[in-house]
Chains A and B, each alone.
Chain A
């Protein structure tokens, strides 16, 4: 008898957690959609909603068509998909390494991808496709290098973070040197890789990003089921029948591809990957996968920060500056809390 009651209460708790997860995810999705609408509607000239909609449908509306189709739509799509990619990628690494400090920056993905991309642009004069592939490969190589070095005599996340900071410093030095020897007309393409901004994103840059997110996000989300088991620790996961290495490699590959391709369009938008996971976790609660909510939080962060950067001040700030100013204090706050609890 008691057993039945226990099961019933477990099921009730599970249902409650699911409802919370579902409600929070829906709210986040609605918020993202609203922000997308704002991205299309707001601008230096404000067109009536009907004009914006007609322009989206492909009709030629004087003025509105150019603003919406050529400037605002690519900007909105880039922010949406790149934010989603950063959010989900950051969440995956944070969960996999069981540490909120793990993010594409510390793991060297950002610096590795950027260094390789800048090298391809400046030295090899490669085309966009080659640059993107090189960025993905170098991002993966950087993670593996940092992970390998930090296995040293005994793996610890602290060691990994310190080595990550060191590798990042070296790669950034290489980037500075490449910048110096680059030709004048390569500079804009190089800068794209160095600072996060949605300015000047064009429609033809988007298909690779959207394709990659549509392919890899479902894979990563599907594997996210295993992630919650991985969170229990290596031994439990193995005994529950999860092929931990295969799952890890696939998750890492999917995340790095998404992050690197998103970076190729928007540049590294500071702290989004780092912030999205913890915010999503706070909103959806424990128990269900945080991958999709983290992606949505990432998109919401990028879109909202871009709107703030565009319209809140007399000067237009690129989105990366806004997320940097929001993210860095949160990082400090997190450190203070982790130090107090003795988690570091």
Chain B
């Protein structure tokens, strides 16, 4: 972990910078919401923007575009928060600074199960997508963590990431094999995958919210116990932490958050990695702050990435997952460059 902060995990000290960082985060959040409403593949005038926001009776085309963008932005914020928080949880549970639902192959697990559902079970409703995605995400997480923690030294970052990459490769060739002969499934899958956050509407949001609530609650409740676990298992047990329960709860919360987000928005990687490390950089390692702030940062990151994708892809749209990979992968490279050989 990062040694720069002198706050002892488990103490009730609030990092000095926290209020300022929180304020900055909220300002960025507000800014990204405004940007997300104002910019898109189609330029909309300021008058339409105001009408779409505040006048429910306005029926201009521009106002309609803005209403669509409102639901999309809300959906984007929620997905980003879920992915950011999920990344922070997975990093804490695996004690691995490079963990991220995309890199660990958890998203691919969710994707495979969704594809299986589309091809063989003919699923169509968002609830069915979520159920299958959650099962797939959990299975992939357990599988990758199992392989990655074999042998000496337990789950080192290199082992985990290789296991994740190999699992992703295996799952994506299975996905191709399932989809190739089934054009109907291919269309539906591509809509799901490419539909990305652009397909976010109020119905999806209402289905997403309960999962988000459960995941966030479990994450926040386990945060201070997870802090104690970073001191080492023995110390944590000495402090009265039930380590098995805590890690299970945190891992489940991480899987629920990213599984639900993946089910509704398609596989999106690197948000968790990016958000968590940005937060760590300014706030230090205390998970009671890192976990909620990663959610906030993830929301900002995903929303801004979505805007960037809309602008870069004109007249179409670039999937948000492509943008997050492009801006998030350098973080992986930097971390790998800085890491000590021993800790790989």
Residues of A that sit less than 8 Å from B by CB: 101, 149-150, 152-154, 156, 158-159, 161-163, 165-167, 169-170, 172-174, 176-177, 180-181, 270-271, 314-315, 317, 321, 324-325, 327-329, 331-332, 335-336, 338-342, 344
Contact = CB atoms under 8 A, between A and B. Distances in A.
Nearest to B326: A173
B159 A324 contact: no
Contacts of A327: 169
Given A315-B180, A335-B163, A166 B336 contact: yes
Contacts of B337: 149-150, 152-153, 159, 163
Given A172-B325, A335-B159, A321 B318 contact: no
B330 A325 contact: no
Q: Which 6 pairs across A and B sit closest by C-beta, in order of nearness? A: A324-B173, A328-B170, A162-B336, A315-B181, A173-B326, A339-B151
11 contacts: A162-B158, A162-B333, A162-B344, A169-B329, A177-B313, A180-B316, A321-B176, A331-B170, A339-B147, A341-B151, A344-B151
B180 A162 contact: no
Contacts of B181: 314-315
A327 B174 CA distance: 12
A156 B339 CA distance: 11
B161 to A, nearest CB: 6
B53 interface: no
A340 B176 CA distance: 31
A162 B167 CA distance: 15
A328 B169 contact: yes
Contacts, number: 138
- State the main secondary structure of chain B at its contact with A: helix
- Best-buried of A101, A163, A328 by chain B (most CB within 10 Å): A328
Contact of B270 (A169, A324, A342): A169
B240 interface: no
B86 interface: no
Contacts of B329: 166-167, 169-170, 173
Contacts of A152: 337-338
B159 A344 contact: yes
A331 B326 CA distance: 26
B248 interface: no
Contacts of B312: 177
B323 A159 contact: no
Contacts of B103: 165
- Highest count of chain B CB atoms <10 Å: which of A149, A332, A339: A339
Nearest to B152: A342
Contacts of B157: 162
Nearest to A146: B333
Contacts of B209: none
A218 B264 CA distance: 53
Interface string B133-165: 000000000000001101111001111011101
B146 to A, nearest CB: 9
Given A159-B337, A338-B151, A339-B159, 12 more contacts: A162-B158, A162-B339, A163-B332, A167-B333, A170-B330, A325-B174, A328-B169, A332-B147, A332-B167, A342-B151, A342-B152, A344-B156
B177 A325 contact: yes
B98 interface: yes
